[in-house]
Structure 1
Amino acid sequence: MIEYKGKKVVIIGLGLTGLSCVKFFLKKGVIPRVIDTRLCPPQLKQLPKNVEFHLGEFNTDWLFQADLIITSPGIDLSCQELQQALNKGIEILGDIELFCRELTVPIIAITGSNGKSTVTVLIKEMAKAAGYQVGVGGNIGFPVLDLLNEPIKQLYILEVSSFQLEVTNSLRANVATILNVSENHLNRYPLGINQYRNVKMRIYQNALIYVINKDDPSIIPENSNNQNSISFGINKGDYHLVNNKDEIYIKNIYYDQNFNIENIKITGQHNYINILAALALAGAIGLPYNSSLETLCSFKGLKHRFQLITEHKGIKWINDSKSTNIKSTEAALFSLNSSLKFKGTIWLLLGGDGKNADFSSLRRYVINKNIRFFCFGKDGKKIASMNPEISTYTKTMQQAVMQIASLVKTNDTVLLSPACASLDQFDNFEHRGNIFIKLVKKIINE
């Protein structure tokens, strides 16, 4: 553990992560200062009264006097003030780094553009079923530093974002994985997907075992080999899928028996890949395979992830609000085509903050397919202009849902899979998904 007493600490950002950092340093005998460029940060009322704060802009005097700066994930390190601090030799860290400095307990670290939370929760349930005392935190919504307030666990599972990896140096995961990398957060990574991918690759630094995605060679570490890695993939890898007489099975090369995916409650190829990744992680830490398969059979998936809200009058309403990038929306559309075998029209709700993404890849889904786009929010007009013949723009998601409700017919599917961040009109993707669920329930009860 590192001694922080006597250090001048500045914490930037007063959300859940920032508040957890404040509490961490107070327990270490350090009273930090807090900066938030917002005028009304969400956790201001919970800030202890002996902690100074500065709102609405950066306080450069505080920054440049600091020995240590702690940034929340939403803070862009490329901003001028933080670059000046770095040039002065001031250390800038994040909460994952602080957490890792405190622990000697095994860690599973998970990152990726899509599927992180599903895989994190799955491996947690598998470990618990095998008798482990497990702590879970990070990007999944529970600040990791708050885990230090609980009794020490036997295993920690961390969902880690690229933003968190930017300010993490001491992560030495027993098992680490990058599930996938697709175009995302390009407003934060101006050099493009390669810059974003390189940040993700930091999760493998000092890891003992790599769990690698065989379907994407660009995210496989150069030093990976049969001794330090376990792999998964659709058709290749230690854990993969096999098709036998039109039935799909999970194949584990270390285990003779194949497992029919008909036994699993969640559907869609993207979820099958998440399952393969979770099984590979479970295998990497030595969990019993049969126990992990039993966990799969009872797992119902996570809310806001390709969640079937209801099927009413032959119309399916699906909440996939967690799809905050294009690749995730493409996965949802692929799953509709391959799993639900719909016959009607897909009414796709798109919109929000597109983070400078290129939506042109969605064009291939309109060729010879009965699909309509309803686009809303900050980038709604931009998305709608891509396919104006099949697109409708509304200012809000609520307006789009009400219009769709008057048009849908039996065998149609309404899919909220926005391909965008939610913060232009909602608190977060959960808020967006919950509003959608309420609207759907109101429609079917009228």
Structure 2
Amino acid sequence: MTTSTTTEALLHKGSGLQVVVGLGQSGLSVAHYLVKQGYQVAVTDAQAAPALAAKLTEAVTTRQFGAIDAELLQQAARIIISPGIALSTPAVAAARQAHIPVVSDIQLFCDACRVPIVAITGSNAKSTVTTLVGQMAADAGVNVGVGGNIGVPALTLLENSEMALAVLELSSFQLETVSNLGAQVAIVLNMSPDHLDRHGDMLGYHQAKHRIFQGAKSVVINREDALTRPLVADNLPRISTGIHAPDKDQYGLIVDSDGQIYLARGTQKLLSADKLLIKGRHNLLNAQAALALGELAGLPLASMLTTLQQFTGLEHRCEYVASVAGIDYFNDSKGTNIGSTIAAIEGLGAVYAPKDGKLLLVLGGQGKGQAFGELTPFINQYVSQVLFIGEDAPLIEQHLRAAKISHDVTLHQCQTLENAFATILQVTSSSLSQVQAVLLSPACASFDQYSGYAARGEHFSQLVHQLASESAETATP
């Protein structure tokens, strides 16, 4: 372990020492924020040479790298933990047992924030809805800060003295150390198994997510998912969303006699689904969530609907890449859990099913202890080919077979994306192929083969464009 020189006085129990655990982007923002507030700050990280160490202010003289320093934590008046570090980490667990407060950067933010907060969590679509609400606010002329688990650390938003609204994406890791967030409006978009290796079971995961509702002034509820419903006072303002026709003042979908789907508020048709650039039923739910959150945050409906029609979605989230030889390719690399992949299969599958088309699904990576058999009914309905890649590929196939995958679905072990594309070419060149769309939605983390989901998605897109180029050359006489 590398250690800088410290003094007895600095580490004295009553000194008010703030110890930052983990030097990622959020940890760096915490250190800078606390120094500006006049605190004595120390940082510890398990990496021997954290990449961001050079960006630390010189005021942080205590830097314990190479391991999480248990002795340093015992000297803290307060510990600010980065979301990537589990509370079960021995040094952290020992500090908590010694009754030393352990909080996240989000707790520091909500304690200091003096503007309304729109708080968004869920197993899937957090980034899409957070980005969309932020854009709705900006387009309505509101000076808005967007951050948290998406891009900008929450504390960095406080540097904008003109900020009038904060829109935060919050992960379960961030929420497990937050108390009384006090959001203007809060939502759990959906709940499906994820991060069970960290939270232990669905109960622990559910409890972490639902901390977002503590002190909330209003809530948005997904009618399709009972696990999103908060235990809050009955008189708290609330709006619900869903895939069916809504009750008065709620959001939902109305289908007219011609089969056209409309976003609706009560009996009022707001927008035809074909006017949206983002496709699939899951995105209709995302659009409703954004509208409901915006309404409870005071944004004008007309402006929000204009933004919604212009929103193209996010990279690596059911992102249309290209059409090659009549087959559409979608990059959903950010689909790192089962719930997200189910949403993508259902959302896109429903688009191609009326044309008698099927999906080719690319699955795999690091499985995070999930039960992949839950995918089986959705695969049986919408998918004709499943290609497995990554570390847990054999295990995922076992789960699907044990869950009675249909004999009409062909399974391929491919190991890598390069191999998968060779199989895609072979499968789709058959005159018997029903495949009309290829969907990368791995339901897994990517760190076995990539630096992150973005790198995996970029590799997929690169291979699609390479395939398109080869196809064009072949077609040229």
Task: Determine the structure 2 residue equivalent to 1:175.
Answer: 185
Offset at residue 358 of structure 1 (A): 0.3
Aligned amino acid, residue 384 of structure 2: I
Query: Contact between 2:18 and 2:80, CA under 8 Å: does it hold in 1?
Result: yes
Task: Determine the structure 2 residue equivalent to 1:134.
Answer: 144
**Aligned mate of 2:261, from 248, 254, 268:** 248
How many angstroms apart in 2 are the aligned matches of 1:127 and 1:155?
A: 8
Aligned amino acid, residue 27 of structure 2: G
Aligned amino acid, residue 262 of structure 1: D
How many angstroms apart in 2 are the aligned matches of 1:92 and 1:214?
A: 34
Offset at residue 224 of structure 1 (A): 4.4
Task: Determine the structure 1 residue equivalent to 2:73.
Answer: 63
Task: Determine the structure 1 residue equivalent to 2:35.
Answer: 26
Offset at residue 368 of structure 1 (A): 6.4
Q: How does 1:40-59 map to 2 (within 5 A)?
A: 40-49=49-58, 50-59=60-69
Question: Are residues 330 and 369 of structure 1, via their aligned partners in 2, closer, same or farther at CA, if it must alter by over 3 Å?
Answer: closer
Task: Determine the structure 2 residue equivalent to 1:263.
Answer: 275
Question: Are residues 247 and 224 of structure 1, via their aligned partners in 2, closer, same or farther at CA, if it must alter by over 3 Å?
Answer: farther
Task: Determine the structure 2 residue equivalent to 1:225.
Answer: 234
Query: Contact between 2:352 and 2:436, CA under 8 Å: does it hold in 1?
Result: no
Query: Contact between 1:210 and 1:224, CA under 8 Å: does it hold in 2?
Result: no
Offset at residue 76 of structure 1 (A): 0.7
**Aligned mate of 2:115, from 105, 108, 113:** 105
Number of matched pairs: 440
Offset at residue 344 of structure 1 (A): 4.9
Task: Determine the structure 1 residue equivalent to 2:460.
Answer: 436
Moved more, 296-305 or 231-240: 231-240
TM-score, normalisation: structure 2: 0.87
Q: Is 1:280 aligned with 2:289?
A: no
Q: Is 1:13 aligned with 2:22?
A: yes
Task: Determine the structure 1 residue equivalent to 2:214.
Answer: 205
Q: Is 1:395 aligned with 2:419?
A: no
Moved more, 111-120 or 386-395: 386-395
**Aligned mate of 1:148, from 158, 179, 183:** 158
Moved more, 387-396 or 79-88: 387-396
Query: Contact between 1:239 and 1:280, CA under 8 Å: does it hold in 2?
Result: yes
Offset at residue 257 of structure 1 (A): 4.2
Task: Determine the structure 1 residue equivalent to 2:404.
Answer: none
SS of residue paired to 1:25: helix
Question: Are residues 366 and 91 of structure 1, via their aligned partners in 2, closer, same or farther at CA, if it must alter by over 3 Å?
Answer: closer
Moved more, 318-327 or 370-379: 370-379
Question: Are residues 203 and 392 of structure 1, via their aligned partners in 2, closer, same or farther at CA, if it must alter by over 3 Å?
Answer: same
Offset at residue 33 of structure 1 (A): 2.0
SS of residue paired to 2:398: helix
Question: Are residues 212 and 365 of structure 1, via their aligned partners in 2, closer, same or farther at CA, if it must alter by over 3 Å?
Answer: closer
Offset at residue 234 of structure 1 (A): 1.4
Query: Contact between 2:107 and 2:178, CA under 8 Å: does it hold in 1?
Result: yes
Q: Is 1:412 aligned with 2:436?
A: yes
Query: Contact between 2:418 and 2:463, CA under 8 Å: does it hold in 1?
Result: yes
How many angstroms apart in 1 are the aligned matches of 2:83 and 2:233?
A: 29
SS of residue paired to 1:152: coil
Question: Are residues 161 and 70 of structure 1, via their aligned partners in 2, closer, same or farther at CA, if it must alter by over 3 Å?
Answer: same
SS of residue paired to 1:407: helix
How many angstroms apart in 1 are the aligned matches of 2:181 and 2:422?
A: 47
Aligned amino acid, residue 323 of structure 2: E
Q: 1:238-293: CA deviations, max 9, x gaps? A: 0001111211111212x744421121111101000001111111111222211111
Offset at residue 31 of structure 1 (A): 4.2
Query: Contact between 1:31 and 1:51, CA under 8 Å: does it hold in 2?
Result: no
SS of residue paired to 1:422: coil
How many angstroms apart in 1 are the aligned matches of 2:47 and 2:90?
A: 17
How many angstroms apart in 2 are the aligned matches of 1:399 and 1:257?
A: 46
Q: Is 1:346 aligned with 2:359?
A: yes
Offset at residue 298 of structure 1 (A): 0.8
Q: 1:42-71: CA deviations, max 9, x gaps? A: 323323455432333221111111111111
How many angstroms apart in 2 are the aligned matches of 1:173 and 1:348?
A: 38
Q: 1:107-135: CA deviations, max 9, x gaps? A: 11111111111111111111122211100
**Aligned mate of 1:122, from 117, 132, 135:** 132
Task: Determine the structure 1 residue equivalent to 2:46.
Answer: 37
SS of residue paired to 1:14: coil
Moved more, 38-47 or 352-361: 38-47
Q: 1:375-396: CA deviations, max 9, x gaps? A: 2222122113334683333333
Offset at residue 216 of structure 1 (A): 2.2
How many angstroms apart in 2 are the aligned matches of 1:86 and 1:420?
A: 31
Q: 1:164-208: CA deviations, max 9, x gaps? A: 011112411011111111111110121x21221111111111010
How many angstroms apart in 2 are the aligned matches of 1:80 and 1:225?
A: 40
How many angstroms apart in 2 are the aligned matches of 1:21 and 1:370?
A: 46
Q: Considering only CA atoms, is the larger Rg found in Structure 1 or Structure 2?
A: 2
Q: 1:345-379: CA deviations, max 9, x gaps? A: 53211112211000001222343665222222221
Query: Contact between 1:20 and 1:145, CA under 8 Å: does it hold in 2?
Result: yes
Query: Contact between 2:373 and 2:400, CA under 8 Å: does it hold in 1?
Result: no
How many angstroms apart in 1 are the aligned matches of 2:191 and 2:120?
A: 12
Structure 2: 5+ residue stretches without partners: 1-13, 402-406, 471-477
Query: Contact between 2:349 and 2:359, CA under 8 Å: does it hold in 1?
Result: no
How many angstroms apart in 2 are the aligned matches of 1:426 and 1:17?
A: 22
Task: Determine the structure 1 residue equivalent to 2:475.
Answer: none
Query: Contact between 1:374 and 1:384, CA under 8 Å: does it hold in 2?
Result: no
Aligned amino acid, residue 366 of structure 2: D
